[in-house]
Structure 1
Amino acid sequence: MSPKPHGPTLLVIGADAFRTAAFLTWARQGRRVVLADGSSHARYEHAVSEFHALDARDESSDIEALVRLGARADAVVTLSDGSQITAATVAHELGLPGTGVGAARVARSKARQRAVAAAAGLAVPAWREVRGRDDISAFYGGRRRPAVLKPIDAAASTAVYRVDDEASALARWGEVRRFSPNATGIVEEYIPGLEISVEAVFVRSRLEFSSLTRKLTGGPSGFFELGHVVRPDAAEPDADRAAAEVERIARAWELGSGIMHAEFKIGADRWTLVEAAVRPPGDFIPELVRRTHGVDLYALQCAVAGDAQETPVARDREGVTSAVRFAIATGTARRLVRPAEVLADLPDVHVANQLVEAGQRVGRIHGNWGRVAYALGASVDADRLDAQLTKAIDRLVAELGLVADGG
């Protein structure tokens, strides 16, 4: 049974996978949550006060219908990469605080992100928008160069490929084009180095909180996200730099009030923007931030969208490091693996679940949504946590009868 309507009304336009914690947070706050989503794969109808199966995609949503739906809303947010413009537009039409339509439009195009960032003096890879084969040829100019080809407007590491010459890029172009809502890609120089993300809360363009997440990437394409780690600020030497870099992006985008999730490749003296979004991070990163810093990004997303004046305060929880690990594998899942079988002697691992059904065949995947299992935990001993998460993932894959595919 859906929760009974009560409290301030929150209109949520679109919600991607792994967002259960958001709806639990808002329910605990006593909010009346109205969800408009007729497109996302994830389903949260049972977790809200009211559900409407409306198209929430930026390319095809009915803005007028969503504005009517939000007429009594106190705040408008999105939990979907593909609904950032829609949510910002509806908030603007209703006269409510939000990230701003301009910032949302920048977020939805990797090409626009790079152009705006470069104009503001931020480091970006050399790049070219791709609408056809001629754009690929122009980028390479008859020479080899380490590069990446991906959709201009997709998320979750979807159809991202290393392509170091024109022939390999042309071979991948059809698939990349297919996964882009606007049939457009971007090809750019490959930047080596560690990948991180910065999760930040802004109130009226002012940075109120930021957290750095270190990423583990790999898999068959080399770009799938296999893990995230959030460490306390005392153990994070790049925390101040992360705050400064995300502020520069928000200023360039003219971001209003909301959450920014920005990804970088970092080196000793250069942070290169990979991509950014004006919605909370996915992959359970908000849960990691809450466990390490005591800050609930979903609560703050709702608060700043409602123009709250509260300032979030980071409270590192006794030096706790939090992390999540994902598995990529192939084969046929043979059974349901019970969490108790995995967690028995792993006290730092709190959650271990499969993402495939018994009997499901797993083959080649095209994005993070093809991963087969995950394990999440927290500990004051980061090395012990890493070892236990590795063991949990290995057990899950083995008990599922799958073969790990690390690329």
Structure 2
Amino acid sequence: MDRTYPVSGRDHEAWLSGASDALADGPVAGVIPFSEPHVLAAAMLAEELGLPGPGVRAALTSRNKVAQRELFQRHGLSQPAFHVARGVESALAWVGTSWPVVAKPISGSGSLGVRIVHDESELRAWFEERATEDPMLIEEYLDHPEYSVEAVTDRGSVVFSSVTAKTTGAPPFFVETEHRIPAEQDADELLRGVVQALGMGSGILHLEYRDGPGGPRIMEVAVRTPGDYILDGVEAALSVDLYDAVVAVACGERPHRIQPSHGAAAVWFPTPDPGTVVEIVGADRVASHEGVVKVEIDVEPGSSVNPLRSSMDRVGVVIVRADTSDELEARLKVVREELVFRTVPSGEDE
């Protein structure tokens, strides 16, 4: 039987408090973080209870982008050049004339606060928006294709991995609008280096990187389940239930059904024009098509569609699978043509 416990906030302390209530009800077989705010609390509890987990060092590192950059630099892993800026003047001195750069908070998820900045005025405006004394991360901008690795580790050994190719929206926010699984990429060496550097124990790892002429370069890593329905896409494409695998390793068991099949899937996020939704056409028809495994619409007529600045601005998702990449392209083309969100600019008559 499922049981839930109220949590008073999204911070680390709130999750620890809620977990204490759960622990009072009896023995725990495993602890799993499913979102960024859970990561550190879950790792601490797993270690306290003597249960498998990624490890507190891996959890702390994954929650702090500066810690990641410093760790990967010490281990000689390829990544963008970076600077920890404690103010805009420090950032400007490091950038010099090497525009554009990526500016990001040292923690967070869903692309919140991450920005491509092209000149001094944009960087100053970005710092003013933050209104904090916390250090910020300024990085070399890499204009290369983006990928992620979804991997399950069992006591430090990688027992499954797959690579996801990403399509992103327009600058300066570059929000992901589509995932393709599997990508034709060999990221095994990069993955091994990251697992070793983190001291990763048991759990799931979501590693993002860009691949250019100089080879793959790490963008960031998280030791939690990825968002964006990527695990659903992996199951649709490869018939591997990574939720089941994560539960198994968290409970000290060997994951089963971990041998992938040969297929392909796309996770597509429609991006209608900003404004007010007046009509949504084709959702039921698309859901009935062969190969469509999920259609989720998060808006309705009268809802507002915001400009795509983060994953929180999406309006829905469609997951499509096929046996081959050509068949997937054909199915996805039909979905794109038939699922239509009609909007009008906000404030105009509908």
TM-score, with normalisation over the residues of structure 1? Answer: 0.77
Aligned to 1:401: 343
| Residues 1:139 and 2:83 are matched in the alignment | no
- The 1-side partners of 2:126 and 2:167 are apart by 24
98-107 or 243-252, larger mean C-alpha shift: 243-252
Aligned to 1:373: 316
Aligned to 1:341: 285
**Deviation of the 1:381 alpha carbon:** 3.4
Which of 134, 148, 153 pairs up with 1:197? 148
Which of 207, 214, 224 pairs up with 2:165? 214
Identify if the C-alpha distance between structure 1 residues 229 and 101 changes in structure 2 by more than 3 Å, giving closer, same or farther: same
Which of 252, 263, 268 pairs up with 2:197? 252
Aligned to 1:389: 332
- The 2-side partners of 1:70 and 1:387 are apart by 50
**Deviation of the 1:138 alpha carbon:** 2.5
- The 1-side partners of 2:11 and 2:203 are apart by 19
Which of 244, 254, 264 pairs up with 1:299? 244
197-206 or 363-372, larger mean C-alpha shift: 363-372
Q: Please tell me whether the aligned partners of residues 245 and 256 of structure 2 are also in contact (alpha carbons under 8 angstroms).
A: no
- The 1-side partners of 2:221 and 2:141 are apart by 17
Aligned to 1:290: 235
Aligned to 1:357: 300
Identify if the C-alpha distance between structure 1 residues 118 and 383 changes in structure 2 by more than 3 Å, giving closer, same or farther: same
How large is the Cα RMSD of the aligned pairs? 2.4
Q: Secondary structure at the match of 2:254?
A: coil
**1:89-123 deviation per Cα after TM superposition (whole angstroms, max 9, x unaligned):** 12112221111111011001111111101110101
Q: Please tell me whether the aligned partners of residues 5 and 21 of structure 2 are also in contact (alpha carbons under 8 angstroms).
A: no
Which of 50, 54, 62 pairs up with 1:99? 54
Q: Secondary structure at the match of 2:138?
A: strand
Q: Secondary structure at the match of 1:213?
A: strand
Q: Please tell me whether the aligned partners of residues 106 and 136 of structure 2 are also in contact (alpha carbons under 8 angstroms).
A: yes
**Deviation of the 1:154 alpha carbon:** 1.5
Aligned to 2:124: 170
Which of 247, 251, 254 pairs up with 1:309? 254
Give the paired residue count.
Answer: 342
**Deviation of the 1:87 alpha carbon:** 1.1
Identify if the C-alpha distance between structure 1 residues 327 and 237 changes in structure 2 by more than 3 Å, giving closer, same or farther: closer
AA matched with 1:401: T
Residue correspondence of structure 1 range 7-18 to structure 2 within 5 A: none
AA matched with 1:225: E
- The 2-side partners of 1:328 and 1:129 are apart by 34
Which of 11, 14, 19 pairs up with 1:66? 19
Aligned to 2:348: none
- The 2-side partners of 1:186 and 1:389 are apart by 37
- The 2-side partners of 1:307 and 1:377 are apart by 33
Identity of paired residues, percent? 31
Which of 129, 151, 162 pairs up with 2:105? 151
**Deviation of the 1:402 alpha carbon:** 5.8
| Residues 1:223 and 2:177 are matched in the alignment | no
Unmatched 5+ stretches in structure 1 = 6-47
Answer 1 or 2: higher relative contact order, Cα 8 Å, separation at least 6. Answer: 2
**Deviation of the 1:336 alpha carbon:** 5.6
- The 1-side partners of 2:48 and 2:82 are apart by 34
Q: Please tell me whether the aligned partners of residues 216 and 228 of structure 1 are also in contact (alpha carbons under 8 angstroms).
A: yes
- The 2-side partners of 1:335 and 1:51 are apart by 38
**Deviation of the 1:82 alpha carbon:** 2.1
**1:165-207 deviation per Cα after TM superposition (whole angstroms, max 9, x unaligned):** 22221122233x26x9x95431100112111100001011111
251-260 or 184-193, larger mean C-alpha shift: 184-193
Aligned to 2:82: 127
AA matched with 1:199: E
Aligned to 1:30: none
Q: Please tell me whether the aligned partners of residues 375 and 389 of structure 1 are also in contact (alpha carbons under 8 angstroms).
A: no
- The 2-side partners of 1:312 and 1:342 are apart by 30
Q: Please tell me whether the aligned partners of residues 204 and 256 of structure 1 are also in contact (alpha carbons under 8 angstroms).
A: yes
**Deviation of the 1:151 alpha carbon:** 1.9
**Deviation of the 1:338 alpha carbon:** 6.1
Q: Please tell me whether the aligned partners of residues 148 and 188 of structure 1 are also in contact (alpha carbons under 8 angstroms).
A: yes
Q: Please tell me whether the aligned partners of residues 334 and 401 of structure 1 are also in contact (alpha carbons under 8 angstroms).
A: yes
**Deviation of the 1:365 alpha carbon:** 4.1
**Deviation of the 1:270 alpha carbon:** 1.6
**Deviation of the 1:57 alpha carbon:** 2.4
**Deviation of the 1:321 alpha carbon:** 0.6
Identify if the C-alpha distance between structure 1 residues 56 and 256 changes in structure 2 by more than 3 Å, giving closer, same or farther: farther
Unmatched 5+ stretches in structure 2 = 346-350
353-362 or 292-301, larger mean C-alpha shift: 353-362
**Deviation of the 1:65 alpha carbon:** 5.3
Identify if the C-alpha distance between structure 1 residues 267 and 336 changes in structure 2 by more than 3 Å, giving closer, same or farther: closer
- The 2-side partners of 1:174 and 1:356 are apart by 32
AA matched with 2:103: L
